[in-house]
Amino acid sequence: MPITINNQEDIERMRIAGKLASEVLDFITPFIKPSITTEEIDSLCHDFMTNKQGTIPAPLNYAPPGHTPFPKSICTSVNNQICHGIPGEKILKKGDVVNIDITVIKDGYHGDTSRMFFVGEPSIQAKRLCEVTYQSMWLGIREVKAGAYLGDIGHAIQSYAESNSYSVVREFCGHGIGKVFHDEPQVLHYGNSGEGLKLEAGMIFTIEPMINAGKKDIKVLPDNWTVVTKDRSLSAQWEHTILVTDKSYEVLTVSKDTPKPFLD
């Protein structure tokens, strides 16, 4: 399948969609406190997207082949949940960590981003895992430019995560995005430098490493959506949508309160 090379109009619309997705995370941040349920988080985000932004929550009723429709507007993955956690009755408590994954559709274009949140004061282990995962994402992003390879991104992420004694989930990856939610290319978060697809200016894709405190092995729960660590260890994920430019990259999922990169 050919890789989409976006024109200037596409890029501008993706900037808008990306900013809107990030603004949902800005909005929900003050609500992430002990005693809130993931269902309440979903409801707040849904109302903000549909009523304030005029966006469509892309996950709601999303049904790739072999899946039942996803029943909520966002994903909330708590502690040992790696990704695709379905919001529900779970009450967040002090010490929990939660990934909130937002994808909005605006004028037919998708903005996709996620952040980790601490519920109260996190454990030292949880804080370190989230920080290393964030750094891993940014080290991957820093490899992006026309002429680089997808393997450069994966290698940077894998090397840093494993040097900190963590593991990289293999079954899920970043993806092309634009008018299509999940498009080519697949952006692996592991690999070898100089291998894989050669990047061209105008490509847009997500980088969203999922890093486990324990082993990389996963398990899918009976709901056929929620993915957890097989050894029940903590997991963390961060995500940005990235535009490839001639000499560098542009992060499209940026808003007022987007966490700043911290790089060596």
pLDDT tens digits in sequence order for the chain, 264 residues long: 689 999 999 999 999 999 999 999 999 999 999 999 999 999 999 999 999 999 999 999 999 988 899 999 999 999 999 999 999 999 999 999 999 999 999 999 999 999 999 999 999 999 999 999 999 999 999 999 999 999 999 999 999 999 999 999 999 999 999 999 999 999 999 999 999 999 999 999 999 999 999 999 999 999 999 999 999 999 999 999 999 999 999 999 999 999 998 765
Which CATH number covers residue 181?
A: 3.90.230.10
Range of the domain at 86: 8-251
In a domain, 93, yes or no: yes
In a domain, 257, yes or no: no
In a domain, 262, yes or no: no
In a domain, 261, yes or no: no
In a domain, 258, yes or no: no
Q: Tell me phi and psi for residue 246, to 5 degrees.
A: -60, -45
Q: How far apart are CA 115 and CA 131, in angstroms?
A: 11
In a domain, 202, yes or no: yes
Domain count, the chain: 1
Continuous segment of H or E residues that includes residue 211: strand 210-212
In a domain, 1, yes or no: no
The contacts found for 220-224 with CB under 8 angstroms, 24 or more apart, are 223/86, 224/67, 224/68
In a domain, 3, yes or no: no
Q: CA of 94: how far to CAs of 100, 119, 173, 223, in Å?
A: 17, 5, 30, 26
Q: Are 121 and 167 in contact (CB under 8 A)?
A: no
